[in-house]
Structure 1
Amino acid sequence: MTKHLVARANILVLGVLLALLALVGTATWERMNAARDAREWSRHSYEVLTTMKDLAIALRDAERGQRGYLLTGKDDYLRPYDTARDRISLLQGELRKLTADNPAQEKRLRSLGPTIQHKLEELAQTVQARRDGGFEAALRIVDTDAGRGFMRAAEGTLSEMLADEQALLASRHTDSDARAAWVRWLVIAGSGLAILTLIVAAKLLNDAWSRSFKSEIAQRALVLRLRTTLDSLSQGVAVFGADGKLKHWNGCFQALLDLPKAMVRPGAAYAAFAEHTSEPGRPALESEEQVQHGSRDAAETITYEGTRADGHHLEIRRTPMPDGGFVLTISDMTKRAQAEAVLREAQKMQAIGQLTGGIAHDFNNLLQVILGNLEFVRAKLEGDVKLQTRIERATWAAQRGATLTGQLLAFARKQPLAPAAIDIAATMPDLIPLMRRTLGEHIDVRYVETAGLWPAMADPAQLESAVLNLALNARDAMSGGGRLTIELGNKVLDDAYARAHAEVIPGDYAMVAVSDTGHGMTPEVVARVFEPFFTTKPDGKGTGLGLAMVFGFVKQSGGHVKIYSEPGQGTTVKIYLPRALGMVRVTGQRSVSPIELPRGSATVLVVEDEPAVREIACAILGDLGYRVLEASDGEDGLRVFGANAASIDLLLTDVILPGEVRGRELAERILAMRPEVKVVFMSGYTENSIVHHGRLDEGVNLIGKPFKREQLAVKVAEVLGFATTIQDQTGKVFDLRSGRGS
């Protein structure tokens, strides 16, 4: 609205200025015409005066020539007379023309004519008399004074005419001067107004130019912002006109469609792009006929998908414009597809975790009862070999069940990890002899280590278990023999690798690669190898949880696992564990069959809601010499502790307890009353009370169900500090605190 008002005001001012200029111009023109007329009349008056003077001179010349002839009688003196006489007639005619507009002068001129005629006749008579009768005859005519009278009369009339014409000339001069002054002032005023008009016009033009310049700057800034915005989009955008020619685009349009730079130019036909992308391995655009048909049918957005040869998934949108053109929008949906895959994986993990958590606790409690009673009985029947064999088989079956449950928990990332900064270059060589014995002589086990290997942040036991699982899978893939290679190295997963793998965090990683020369796998099998219960082995030969456990352990540790395999070319599984920056922990193997278990006399409060588990735990501890108090839940545990607070040295409690007081809260309340009491948690499924982000809380002692008799004995003795070493059947001594053998 303001712009329209300003424009109207400018037009009004310009109109007024033009009207004033027209008025001044008209007045100036009229005054100039009047001045021109005045100049013409002045010139006319000068001509009249000149003619009158010439007439008077001609009369005198005629009289002078006549007197010369009279005195001398020579004809030469008649020449001025004859010339003047002829001129007098001409001047009289000219004077009549010049004074035709002046009645007073015409009247005088009419009276002047006869007088001049008489004077000329008198002159002619004297000349003839001189010629015929001599000087005396001519003198007699002259003495009559008639010629003098005519001459005086003619001169008088001419004088009046001159005086009147001079007065008229003076009047005309005055009028001409006045008009000239008018013209001069009008010219000055017109010039001033013109200058003012020019100044105003210049200001208006300058304002208009300034507005235009500012508008142009604003438009350029807007275009630059739009261009920058368009170029900053991660989507490819291209605008085509109604004629199907390319008008505007951004860099992502060319990059996402993998178009040659020479093709993307203003005026390029859409048909060329459609033809180029129709080649194999390119995301095909709609044909030109499809675009034209779609634009005729409706003005709705058309969306379709395409896939590049490099696996990038693209979403292509065509949006019609009112002018008949359309906008192509290319979106790289690869990350979204990866995110959806990660989400599906997370949902699968959540579902498996819920399933696992629901059965793990009860199942591990059952296994604990079985294993505990079997080991308790085995310790009492050392002399009966047949019964010992039966018990060992039953124990193996129960341990196998515990292993399967642990693998399922590992894949669901529900196992409690105790990650530490470990030197895998120091621990991994200890596994090589074990692998050679386990895999058999037909498998050539090789070990490759990189100098300056970074320490890794991981749970040592779980890492060893993962590597052993991979080695066993490799053995099954090389039934006829082959080569297994364990390789350690430092790897940096950069941003580019992380963009291609949505679950990867860029950074430094310690790598453990397990490679075999087996039969390899097809891409379809590789895509499913980490799924739980998926296996290519015959029925009864595999559970399908080995690689799933490896995958879950690595992901829970914050690492990354990648598998490379081709049919007939073998398989390589690379485990990337986060680089550790803290002190390196030295790990070693512990004995599984000590000759004599550590014993003690401390008082242990056992809190377990499952009666059979509580019974076997109390029996094992009692058999080891401990004084045992028991409780069925958290509230009962607090009551028992309150009655025996001074004598209780260690609390052995399940993590998951019924009622309001769970295992962690029970431990916290007891420690608040007696901070010196030691605490050991036992559980087959931990929830989040002592495990956060998949890692065991700092300072927490945990023994997982189902546990063996010697495991419970070692853990309790280690926590109480009663025993620091144990000895196996070979006599090798192991330090419980450091885990190192000597």
Structure 2
Amino acid sequence: MRWQSLPLFLGFALLALIVGARAVLVEGQRANREAAREAIEYQELFSGLLSLAQDAEIGQRGYLLTGEKSYLEPYRRALDSIPGQLARIDSMTVPDDQIVQQINHIKDALSQKQAELAETIALYDQGDATKALELVRSGQGKAAMDQIRTSMDTIRRIGGAAISARDAHTDQVEAWLRLGSLGALLAIFLFGAYTIRLSRRRFREVAVAQEELMRKNIALGNEIQTREKAESQIRQMQKMEAIGQLTGGIAHDFNNMLAVIISAMNLAQRKLARDEHDIQKLIEAATDAASRAANLTSRLLAFSRQQPLAPQIVDANRLVTGMSDLLRRALGETIRIETVLAGGLWKTHADPSQIENAILNLAVNARDAMDEDGKLTIETANSHLDDTYAATHAEVAAGQYVMVAVSDTGSGMTPDVMAKAFEPFFTTKPVNKGTGLGLSQVFGFVKQSGGHVKIYSEPGEGTTIKIYLPRFFGPEEAATPAGRSGSLAAPVTETILVVEDDARVRASTTDAMRELGYTVIHAASGQEALQKLAETPAVALLFTDIIMPTMNGRKLAEEALARMPQLKVIFTTGFTRNAVVHNGVIDHDVHFLAKPFTIDQLGAKLREVLDKE
């Protein structure tokens, strides 16, 4: 028996060796990705430095042409920023003679350029504009800028060569590991074959005696059960794979955001303990990470079809036309945008802000697929999905739809990619270039709105994604998306009652309202809130959480309005399936603010409700 166990032991040892070697390779690839990220950040610093030099030159020339001191603002800002930019570049520069030499060239050229700019401005200030212009035309400044660009190009080539060398080394290691793995697997196979042969010879006598009985038992008693169990296991594996991808993506993104928040807050605490108050950047970093976390939660709610929607009657032509400036800013000047709007387009009943988000998500994906150089086409049309189409797409109801299509001239998708395109956290983009939630958010919103979304794509030919939203049968007045106009200034004199069972959320909400200038009282439960309403008849607005023990927010609002009919009410919650949101749609008679929210969003909502007649 000990000799029989030896091949198994050797096989497991080879497997462990393969796994260990793979782990080393993965660690090397992670180091390569980190080096590539640092190289990109390093190059961005040089791009920023070049941009500052160009800003200074633009400010100088604007001043020479117009004589207006305001044109010198970019020049002054650039002069203030260039030393800090150079310091950041020095801190990230590796001790490489070639790179250090090129950086010294850049510094010398910058000094020459700054001296030329300062001299021309001084001459112009002294009234000698002709001599100042002659100095500009002399080419000294142009030569310095050319030297800066040449040195930056050299640094880029050096960095690219280093990354390529690392990649080549990793590829070589992977090739050797692949050969080693194949050899190890072959050895494992041989060990297994030997063990099986030996075992079969030793137990053949017993197997022959029991073979007929076992075959009959399996055939009569276990065949159906085995098949059902296998099918159940396959379904469970598919579910677990999908859940694993989703939870892994969520954990990855939230861990990144929480790392930023925790680090920023810890640094801020340490600085405050040292009586240092330069914590604005730390607070901004934490706020940005928290905003991205809130945006991730919103996208997940959209995918799960549980986000609160505020549907309106929408004219898709007008909505697409109104997005033109937003799209041009988001896509850049290298992407050509064309809109093809159908005449006599039907109306649809959907949340206009979510339609805009869906179009913007599709446009950004198209831009990335075109490598920021191509043509984007947005098209609207009336469409009828008949019974034949519905029969081949089980989730689609036959009928009339408003179609919005976004087409690009990018790289296209393979069938395998199209099959997974709407899965959360699935992405073909490089690391840190996308969350993998854009298309899943579009999919969730369209399905929650009773619509349909379809991808048409060919590798190398581009992609078209069509959104079908149900036609609205009713009056032809189209509502414009809310929230576009600026908030109206209003005197802050009202008293607000905040009701929240979570002490930390209650404290932060109360502090935010007081920061906005309101008089605030607060309560931890519905019963306490009713008592404070009785004690404070001057309360103008009730701001209440919905999910609370004993008395929820809806019941509290009903009781409060029965006592004070003029009272305004705003509901808030992090959930959507509750007393005021049904099937993802906000009830028409309530004001709702989803958690989490910023102070600006809170202030705008308070004024919207308080100023409403």
Under a length normalisation based on structure 1, what TM-score does the superposition of the two structures give?
0.45
Closer, same or farther in 2 for the Cα pair 1:437/1:401, shift >3 Å? same
1:649 alignment partner, SS class = strand
SS where residue 575 of structure 1 aligns?
Answer: strand
Equivalent residue letter for 1:673: R
**Corresponding residue number in structure 2 for 1:624:** 516
Partner of 1:440: 332
Report matched runs for 1:189-338 at 5 Å. Answer: none
**Deviation digits for residues 494-546 of structure 1 (CA, Å, limit 9, x no counterpart):** 11111111111111111111111110111111011101111111222221111
User: What residue in structure 2 maps to residue 648 of structure 1?
Assistant: 539
Structure 1 residue aligned with 2:480, among 557, 563, 587?
A: 587
Cα distance in structure 1, aligned partners of 2:440 and 2:596: 21
Q: Secondary structure at the match of 2:424?
A: coil
Q: Which residue of 1 aligns with 2:554?
A: 664
Structure 2 residue aligned with 1:673, among 544, 550, 563?
Answer: 563
Once the 2 structures are TM-superposed, how far is the Cα of residue 488 of structure 1 from its aligned partner?
Answer: 0.8
Distance of 2:553 and 2:404 partners within structure 1: 37
Asked whether the 8 Å contact 1:442–1:481 carries over to 2, the reply is yes
CA contact under 8 A between 1:477 and 1:519: conserved in structure 2? Answer: yes
The TM-score normalised by the length of structure 2 is 0.54
> Between Structure 1 and Structure 2, which shows a larger proportion of helix residues?
2
1:410 matched to 2:302? The reply is yes
Q: Does structure 1 retain, via aligned residues, the 8 Å contact 2:331–2:372?
A: no
SS of match in other structure, 2:472: coil
Report the CA distance between 1:673 and its aligned residue: 2.7
Post-superposition Cα deviations, 1:182-220, rounded to whole Å, max 9, x if no partner, equal xxxxxxxxxxxxxxxxxxxxxxxxxxxxxxxxxxxxxxx
Query: Which stretch of the first structure deviates more once superposed, 523-532 or 604-613?
Result: 604-613
Task: Report the counterpart of residue 573 of structure 2 in structure 1.
Answer: 683
1:708 match: 598
What stretches of structure 1 of length at least 5 have no aligned partner?
A: 1-297, 304-339, 374-383, 725-742
Find the counterpart in structure 1 of residue 434 from structure 2: 542
Q: Quick check: 1:656–1:683 contact (8 Å CA) kept in 2?
A: yes
Match status 1:551 vs 2:440: no
- Residue 385 of structure 1 and its aligned partner are, at CA, apart by 12
**CA offset at residue 675 of structure 1?**
2.8
Q: Structure 1 residues 349 and 650 mapped into 2: Cα distance closer, same or farther (>3 Å)?
A: farther
Distance (Å, rounded) in 2 between the aligned partners of 1:483 and 1:589: 30
**Mapping of residues 433-512 of structure 1, within 5 Å:** 433-479=325-371, 481-512=373-404
8 Å contact 2:347–2:478 — kept in the other structure?
no
Conserved 8 A contact 1:425-1:449 = yes
Letter in 1 for 2:559: R
The residue number in structure 1 matching 2:466 is 574
Change (3 A) 1:563 1:396: same
State the aligned residue count: 365
- The SS at the match of 1:527 is helix
Structure 2 spans left out of the alignment, 5+ residues: 1-218, 225-231, 266-275
Matched residue, 2:99: none
Q: CA deviation at 1:480?
A: 5.1
Per the TM alignment, residue 602 of structure 1 is displaced from its structure 2 partner at its CA by 2.0
**DSSP-derived class of the 1:651 partner:** strand
Secondary structure, counterpart of 2:539 in structure 1? coil
For residue 457 of structure 2, the aligned residue among 547, 550, 565 is 565
Q: From the superposition, tell whether residues 551 and 412 of structure 1 become closer, same or farther in structure 2 (CA, over 3 Å).
A: same
Structure 1 position 457, deviation (Å): 1.0
Cα distance in 1, alignment partners of residues 311 and 432 from structure 2:
34
Q: 1:581 to 1:349 in 2, by over 3 A?
A: farther
Offset at residue 387 of structure 1 (A): 5.4
Distance 1:434 1:703, change over 3 A: same
Aligned counterparts of 2:333 and 2:278: Cα–Cα separation in 1:
31
Please list, as runs of the form range in 1=range in 2, the aligned pairs for 1:82-161 lying within 5 A after superposition. none
Contact 1:597 1:710 in 2 (8 A): no
Q: Secondary structure of the residue that 1:445 maps to in structure 2? A: strand
Q: State the distance in 2 between where 1:401 and 1:598 align.
A: 31
